[in-house]
Amino acid sequence: MRRDTGEVTSTQYVTETFFFLHTINAYEDRGHIVLDIAAYKNADMLNCMFVEALKNAAYDPTYAQMFRGRPKRWVLPLNPDKDAKPGANLVTLPNTNCRGRWAKKNVVYITPELLSDIGCEVPRIYYEEYNGRPYRYFYSICSDVDHPSPGTLVKVDVVNKTHVEWSEDNVYPSEPIFVPHPEAKREDDGVVLAALLRAKGLDDQVCMLVLDATTFTELGRVEFVASGPVPKCLHGWFVQDGTLRVHKDTNGAQDDDTDSQK
């Protein structure tokens, strides 16, 4: 529907069945809606998160396949050619392999495009400038549990459909956070931050990794040892210094923002 008027369009869009936890980005471009999603074939991957499934993951030959996801792009033509021949591609947006065809009257079947042949989860972009707008890069954790380096960070170029990786033995990263340079001149002009945890008896060790977002190479890190095992944290956030506000409840006590500020 149109957000400005609430009008529901006469065209409906259908596609292959899929399941997702996170979207990457979405925007309107030359008469099309572009929708990028970290997609799975179905919701079976949720079964992989139960404790018993995790315990048996190394012995279950279907585990990796159930968890197999890929970043895909759907391009929805907002004004598809009603006189197009059967099977004709209704997607006229350049530089995409996504296709749309008439399935029946007022129903367009969309075939998505693969953005990169690697599993990607908790994807992040340069939100301040590119959320809801055409963009080029996103950053994620590799979700392929049978990847040679399961703790891999990924940078995907959605224009060239390529990706680069960063990994290290016995390291498991959190959601990568892009922080732009204060005077950023390019979309990937900045750094990527990720918290790193370790296994194999080193689960009290924590690290903050800093990557050059352009080259995806390490700039530095801060390492320390916690007082006990640190559980894996999937998500993360970066808050610029001085931007947090302290809130007080009715009893005058300070809330969690204060702890974050400290």
Residues belonging to the binding site are 22, 235
Residues belonging to the binding site for Fe cation are 22, 235
Q: Tokens 């080193």 label which residue? A: 202
Residues 193-226: pLDDT tens digits?
A: 999 999 999 999 999 999 999 999 999 999 999 9
Give the pLDDT confidence score for residue 259 in this predicted structure.
43
d(CA 2, CA 147): 42
pTM: 0.88
**pLDDT over 90 (residue 254):** no
d(CA 143, CA 160): 21
Structure tokens at 121: 């989860």
Q: Tokens 């996103």 label which residue? A: 138
Residues 224-246: pLDDT tens digits?
A: 999 999 988 778 888 888 777 77
Torsion angle, CA of 34/38/39/40, rounded to 10 degrees?
Answer: 170
